[in-house]
Copies of this chain bind each other. A is one copy, B any other.
């Protein structure tokens, strides 16, 4: 029979077993972290009707979308978790209770050009709080505190959450007479870090007819060392601006109450977030040792989550972690903690008798105690079986020969230390459990 060469599509992450365990451990930690803050898990279809998913229309992502027909139906794969959330909330509004706090960790699809570290199928890990008509400002401070706790729990040490407020920017543009060009200026400012202040000034003056003096004042203000003090000088002239400065102050104040240390967040007036729908606080998070990676967690406050589906005003605030990309970067930089157990089993039982009943009974006893146990009953040499345990990094092996069966004992070998004891099943179970508990600990990321 002629064979088809197996392959995985480029841009689609597929991990080897040990890496998969590390990835799953990060997902599990995110789930636990989000749950501590009272977010409910959500799962929505990967496929939606195109007219529903693309109700907003246009946008840069449209040509990246996986869109196709099945029968007469025009379908699309979701490209983020926000649009499905908007649909979900609008559709199930009557059965939900607000504020509605949900987390969702799932795959999304974007047909980007294939290049190293760019994925077409990737996990996003989102949290959002949605209000019905109104949503208190405290949520805008709680969200970055969740980012802080989550990244810290993952083991990330050198990161900084950058915070800004779109009303501050909008108010500034008002004061500087730039209101007409708000979107263009925002989009230009978003490139500040990438292209530098000179180039930004050039675009503002050349393309959007901003005066050189105004561009200069704007950039000076945005890149000052003490932004809150600098903003103070402009208050009292624009309602929008004053409101933004008030919100920013409140968020900073509550962030401290939430226990976020000063070196893990900063007000950065250059953070704009290109997306149109942010209306208040916006966030980006950078790994301070790896600024080239860009933002690993972004989001913000919006006033109308579901405006394409409903007249109801549903303001919210949320953030999204690009988990697949983050994992790729961590692996690439050698930041994954390879000391944590990645073996699928805690113990490998090697029966050395013809009849396997005793080995099976032993395996059942260990599993009942919660020890992850694998029986190795294949017809292989003893040495090969030990090498199997070694390759899989299984921490313990149990040998069960005629002698052990007769004496109602087992021989337990700690494959990390090489120590070997012959003891009762109960003693073996306790020894494994205690040793694993002692060796446990450590975070998925090491820096």
Task: For A257, give its contact among B136, B360, B379 (CB under 8 Å).
Answer: B360
Contact A15 B43 (CB under 8 A): yes
Residues of chain B with a CB closer than 8 A to A91's CB: 6-8
Q: In the complex, what distance in Å separates the CA atom of A356 from the CA atom of B92?
A: 31
Known: A43-B15, A374-B38, A378-B134. A6 touches B360 (CB 8 A): no
Known: A5-B309, A52-B7, A364-B258. A136 touches B377 (CB 8 A): yes
Residues of chain B with a CB closer than 8 A to A101's CB: 344, 374
| Interface assignment of A227: CB less than 8 Å from any CB of chain B | no
Task: For A38, give its contact among B344, B364, B379 (CB under 8 Å).
Answer: B344
Task: For A97, give its contact among B23, B55, B391 (CB under 8 Å).
Answer: B391
Question: Nearest B residue to A39 by beta-carbon distance?
Answer: B344
Binds B, one of A66-74, A233-241, A267-275, A415-423: A66-74
Question: Nearest B residue to A356 by beta-carbon distance?
Answer: B138
Q: In the complex, what distance in Å separates the CA atom of A97 from the CA atom of B374?
A: 14
Binds B, one of A199-207, A283-291, A365-373, A436-444: A365-373
Residues of chain B with a CB closer than 8 A to A134's CB: 378-379
Contact B7 A49 (CB under 8 A): yes
Contact A52 B6 (CB under 8 A): yes
Contact A24 B41 (CB under 8 A): yes
Q: Contact mask A355-394 → B, CB, 8 Å, 1/0?
A: 0110011001001001111111111000000001001100
Residues of chain B with a CB closer than 8 A to A259's CB: 361, 364
Residues of chain B with a CB closer than 8 A to A15's CB: 43
Contact B40 A17 (CB under 8 A): yes
Task: For A367, give its contact among B6, B36, B49, B392 (CB under 8 Å).
Answer: B36
Task: For A254, give its contact among B46, B356, B391 (CB under 8 Å).
Answer: B356
| Interface assignment of A12: CB less than 8 Å from any CB of chain B | yes
**A44 → B minimal CB distance (Å):** 6
Known: A142-B375, A309-B5, A345-B38. A43 touches B16 (CB 8 A): no
Contact B257 A38 (CB under 8 A): no
Question: Nearest B residue to A4 by beta-carbon distance?
Answer: B55
Contact A257 B357 (CB under 8 A): yes
Tell which of A9, A40, A71, A97 has the most Cβ of chain B within 10 Å: A40
Residues of chain B with a CB closer than 8 A to A48's CB: 8-9
Q: Which of A1-27 contact B (CB under 8 A)?
A: 1, 3-9, 12-17, 20-21, 23-24
| Interface assignment of A47: CB less than 8 Å from any CB of chain B | yes
| Interface assignment of A90: CB less than 8 Å from any CB of chain B | yes
Residues of chain B with a CB closer than 8 A to A392's CB: 97
| Interface assignment of A430: CB less than 8 Å from any CB of chain B | no
Q: Which of A47-92 contact B (CB under 8 A)?
A: 47-49, 51-52, 55, 66, 68-71, 73, 75, 86-88, 90-92
Known: A12-B47, A45-B12. A379 touches B6 (CB 8 A): no
Q: In the complex, what distance in Å separates the CA atom of A39 from the CA atom of B44?
A: 27
Task: For A9, give its contact among B47, B142, B308, B373 (CB under 8 Å).
Answer: B47
Q: In the complex, what distance in Å separates the CA atom of A259 from the CA atom of B362?
A: 11
Could you list some 24 contacts between A and B, CB below 8 A?
A: A1-B308, A3-B310, A3-B311, A5-B309, A6-B87, A7-B49, A7-B91, A9-B75, A15-B43, A17-B42, A17-B102, A21-B40, A37-B372, A38-B344, A38-B372, A39-B344, A40-B344, A68-B69, A97-B388, A101-B374, A134-B379, A136-B377, A138-B356, A138-B377
Residues of A participating in the B interface, judged by any CB pair closer than 8 Å? 1, 3-9, 12-17, 20-21, 23-24, 35-49, 51-52, 55, 66, 68-71, 73, 75, 86-88, 90-92, 95-97, 99, 101-102, 107, 109, 111, 121, 131, 134-136, 138-139, 142, 149, 254, 257-259, 306-311, 344-345, 348, 356-357, 360-361, 364, 367, 370-379, 388, 391-392
